[in-house]
Amino acid sequence: MSYELANIQLNRACYLLRKSKYILVCGHQRPDGDCIGSMLALKLTLNSLSKRVSCVISDTLPPNLWFLPGIEQIKSGKKKVKKINKFDLIVSLDSSSLERSGLENLKASTSPVLNIDHHQDNSLFGSVNIVKLKASSAAEILYDLLLKFEIEITRDIATCLLCGIFFDTDAFRNPNTTSHTLEITSQLLSKGACVKKIVRYLLQEKSLSTLRLWGKTLARLSENKKLGIISTVLSEEDIKQSEAGGLEGIANYISCLPQAKATLLLSEKDGLIHGNLRTQRDDVDVSKLALLFGGGGHKKAAGFTIPGKLFKTKAGWKVI
Ligand code: AMP
Ligand code: MN
Ligand code: MN
């Protein structure tokens, strides 16, 4: 998108947000630091402009994000949004399609949809789309939008936005970290963003049961030399025995293997198997692999969810 076009979209988004009074903010299934950080930053901003805002997520919230300011105001574990027609605007953050929200009745709304995202498979489903594939995170795009409102970026808003950037860049280690990402980070730090908590809860602190789960995952790594894929599995039973959230942490960690074209973590929950795909190589696009299983994502980090169970056999783990 050219600079002019991007600016027109930002202005249109601003107009929609300004004229709306009751706004629904959604993210994606299996919410992460970018999706939740962005939702909260937008809610805090809109509240300061005297808008009524409802944040709804279809899954439960990972415990490592409970430190975020305002997190208790997110309605989580919902499959449907109550009274969907009372909202005069829907904002979708960090999602390539409305289906990714996991909320079944979003499409029943006739209100405009503002789509703010950075996934390459985004279907441009919004009435206004601010989709920047080069942005590190939805939070980075949101920062540029919030500047247009000429409001004070408070310490809490800054913390939520930095959480999104920090999560999606995997602590500034991913190649999606650009000079613009670091400029915004610098601005957020100067607004008082609580980087200490972000580092502690997103990167450092792990419970004993989480570390044991990591140990199990590492012990099960198996290499498919023909495909160049190194994979591992976690059954529902494994996950139930631990209070670990945020399995993306393990998925990112195992992607350190230099001989792998791609790494894959398969984990099972409620009759569904989620795949976290990662690659460090520039000549591999894991989102294409995820697409084969009905998922999507980015070139270097993608995911999919399929129905099934993981089953241990003598020949190894099987999906049934
Ligand atoms: P994950 O492996 O779940 O951490 O996800 C990596 C990236 O792929 C994130 O940007 C996700 O939003 C995206 N992603 C994960 N699962 C899916 C899915 N089922 N469909 C589309 N995109 C997905
Ligand atoms: Mn996300
Ligand atoms: Mn994101």
pLDDT at 246: 66
- Write out pLDDT tens, residues 257-281: 999 999 999 999 889 999 999 999 9
pLDDT (average), residues 88-105: 97
More confident residue, 146 or 318: 146
User: Which residue pairs, CB below 8 angstroms and at least 24 apart, start in 193-201?
Assistant: 193/155, 193/158, 193/159, 193/161, 193/162, 194/155, 194/159, 195/162, 195/166, 197/67, 197/159, 198/159, 198/162, 198/163, 198/166, 199/166, 199/171, 201/64, 201/65, 201/66, 201/67
Mean pLDDT of the chain: 94
User: In this model, does residue 82 exceed pLDDT 70?
Assistant: yes
pLDDT at 303: 96
pLDDT at 80: 96
Q: Which residues have C-beta within 8 Å of that of residue 118, sequence separation ≥ 6? A: 94, 131, 132, 133, 134, 135, 136, 137, 138, 140, 141, 298
DSSP codes of every residue in 43-70: HHHHHHTT-EEEEEESSPPPGGGTTSTT
29 lines ligand 1 (CB under 6 A): no
Q: Which atom of ligand 1 is nearest to the CA of 287?
A: 8
251 lines ligand 1 (CB under 6 A): yes
pLDDT (average), residues 214-218: 95
Q: Which atom of ligand 1 is nearest to the CA of 265?
A: 2
User: In this model, does residue 244 exceed pLDDT 80?
Assistant: no
pLDDT (average), residues 45-53: 97
pLDDT at 96: 97
User: In this model, does residue 112 exceed pLDDT 90?
Assistant: yes
- C-alpha 262/C-alpha 228 separation (Å) is 7
* H or E segment to which residue 250 belongs: helix 248-254
More confident residue, 247 or 278: 278
Q: Indicate the pLDDT class of residue 100, thresholds 50, 70 and 90.
A: very high
242 lines ligand 1 (CB under 6 A): no
pLDDT at 1: 65
Q: Which of 28, 96, 120, 234 to mutate to test the pocket of ligand 1 (most atoms within 8 A of CB)?
A: 28
User: In this model, does residue 312 exceed pLDDT 90?
Assistant: no
Helix 179-190 to helix 138-147 angle (10° resolution) is: 60
pLDDT (average), residues 58-79: 95
- The neighbour count for residue 105, using CB atoms within 10 Å, is 12
23 lines ligand 1 (CB under 6 A): no
Q: What is the pTM of this model?
A: 0.94
pLDDT (average), residues 85-106: 97
Q: Which of 29, 32, 125 to mutate to test the pocket of ligand 1 (most atoms within 8 A of CB)?
A: 32
Between 74-83, 116-125, 241-250, the lowest mean confidence (pLDDT) is in 241-250
Ligand 2 centroid vs 80 CA: distance in angstroms? 20
- Write out pLDDT tens, residues 63-72: 999 999 999 9
Q: Whose CA is nearest to atom 11 of ligand 1?
A: 297
Number of H helices, E strands in the chain: 10, 14
